[in-house]
Chain A
Amino acid sequence: MIGDWIGHHHSHRDSLVARLPAGLKLGLALVIIVGTVLAPPQAMGWFLGVALLLLVAVVLSRIPLLFLLKRLAWLSPLVLGVALVNALQPAARGSWLTVAARSAICLLTIILVSNTTPFSRILRVLKSARVPGLLITTLALMHRYLFVLVEEAERMRRARASRTFTPRRGARWQTLSTVVGQLFVRASERAERIYDAMCARGWK
């Protein structure tokens, strides 16, 4: 199940949007997000224009519509929470609609960019934007081993499930935390091997 969810990020469909340079896409996304956050609620022209632009980009990028809708639905608990809190405050009523519209536009923008741009390209843009090297190295290593460690956790979960019956909740917390602890031990041992491999290849 974790595999399905992550598999989506491995497959980059070739499309008109995917072929645009990463720097241009990130810059455009930043302009859209900053504009949307700063635009006053009365500026309906901006919101409608950006929404139209995003719709065109969605069609051109060939991202499945169902996936997009599912991903946008993650936002709903937050929007509902803000609506609930604001319902107690008569002065603030109505503002949550603006908040919801703004966050939906921004979320759609970043989903579009992240699903049409490989992460290594984003890193290259960040590097040319003078982000410190240590942070870039850490980001690159994290991205490289993210899927490895998630799969390792999934293998350990499966191994545990095949060896135990359904335990009591307390025992389950114990075994799950042992799995997480073991995952850290394996990650740090892997880090030592990676360092040796990096040195063997002339890293300095």
Chain B
Amino acid sequence: MHIPDGFIDGKTAATTALLSAAGVGLALRQVRRRLAPRRVPLLGLAAAFLFAAQMVNFPVAGGTSGHLLGGVLAAALLGPSAAIVVLTTVLIVQCFLFADGGVLALGANIFNMAIVGVAGGYTIYRGVCRALPGTRGQVAAVAFAGWCSTVLASISCAGQLAWSGTVAWPAGFTAMALVHMLIGIGEGLIGALVFLAIQRTRPDLTGESNGSAPSRRWGEWVGYGLLAVLGIAVFVAPFACPWPDGLESVAAKLGFDHRAVHLRVPAPAPDYQMPGVRWAAGATALAGAAGTVVVFGLALLLARWLVREPGVDPRLTRP
């Protein structure tokens, strides 16, 4: 999902850079305030771990392979703010050292994977954890939230590509969402298995005492929530609402660069007239709703199957 340079235009790059800078600044402030000094090196090591873990290939059918993305896993192990810092670090190193993801697109990549992926995924993780207590609930939460965070990040990515005029919204959204609904299954499964493996060797790293407990202060959540909503409003809502020229009028009102809006080669608006594509977008929304329910059921089944009789095995109970 790393967007290279050239796939998004100037106004998208500037907007996402601003949103990401605000989100990462908020995360850094939280980490500095709440993280014990003893755990500061863990951020760097966790970033190196995520990078190394992404190179372990899991075999999928037909000679293809998948790997961990790790946003939700990092959030479950380190807490959301630390996870945002860790993911941002991974993305910066991938950009500058391995040319994976563009420099101007760095803001967009951080926004999709580190902020939408982690903050969105962690919110879902906490929700499922609260509803289903115990190790079984945690494993189900990691699996389900991993899938959700992958899909959410891909939708945000499709929105940015559409706003840049690189691909038209209905087709881009359909393609991105469907592909990542499949990738997300692998992400959820690997995340749950890895979480359980850590839980079995070092239960202290996965419990509530590891510093990942949610902040009692609402400020943090209001901040991330506001950023995510703002991002969705800018990148996704203009395309989902029935009047396609809404974006243009908003851009004109806010005084965006006049040329940037009109010199773009493709106009995304005419595609709303295509019945086939419109049907595809509706079908995607329907498939998304159905898929979410099915994946939630699968996550519950997976946790039931992986964690048998919680509390009997002394290694599985929390100290």
Contacts and interface: CB of A to CB of B under 8 A. Distances in A.
B56 interface: yes
A15 interface: no
Given A106-B4, A172-B59, A95 B88 contact: no
Report, as a range, how many residues of chain A touch the other chain: 35 or more
Contact of A191 (B45, B200, B259): B45
Given A103-B4, A177-B194, A180-B194, A149 B52 contact: yes
Interface stretch (B213-221, B248-256, B265-273): B265-273
A43 to B, nearest CB: 10
A21 interface: no
B153 interface: no
A102 B5 contact: yes
B: interface residue count bin: 35 or more
A105 B45 CA distance: 33
B125 to A, nearest CB: 17
Interface in A151-190: 152-153, 157, 169, 172-174, 176-185, 187-188, 190
Given A36-B6, A98-B265, A106-B4, A89 B102 contact: no
Interface string A99-124: 11111111100110110000100100
Given A98-B265, A114-B96, A187-B46, A107 B53 contact: no
A88 interface: yes
Given A36-B5, A173-B193, A86 B55 contact: no
Contact of B10 (A37, A71, A142): A37
A153 B271 contact: no
Interface in A16-47: 29-30, 33-34, 36-38, 40-41
A119 B44 contact: no
B102 A135 contact: no
Contacts of A55: none
Nearest to B78: A188
Contacts of B222: none
A36 B93 CA distance: 22
Interface of B: 4-10, 13, 24-25, 28, 31-32, 37-49, 51-53, 55-56, 58-59, 68, 77, 85-86, 88-90, 92-93, 95-99, 102-104, 165-168, 171-172, 175, 189-190, 193-198, 200-202, 205, 259-260, 263, 265-268, 270-271, 274, 277
22 contacts: A29-B103, A36-B6, A37-B6, A78-B7, A85-B171, A89-B277, A100-B6, A102-B5, A104-B6, A107-B102, A134-B40, A135-B85, A137-B43, A145-B44, A146-B52, A150-B51, A157-B56, A182-B197, A184-B49, A185-B201, A185-B202, A191-B41
Interface of A: 2, 9, 29-30, 33-34, 36-38, 40-41, 71, 75, 78, 81-82, 85-86, 88-89, 91-92, 94-95, 98-107, 110-111, 113-114, 119, 122, 132, 134-135, 137-146, 148-150, 152-153, 157, 169, 172-174, 176-185, 187-188, 190-192, 194-195, 198
- 10 tightest CB-CB pairs across the interface, nearest first? A141-B44, A181-B197, A102-B6, A106-B5, A103-B6, A177-B193, A92-B266, A142-B47, A149-B52, A191-B42
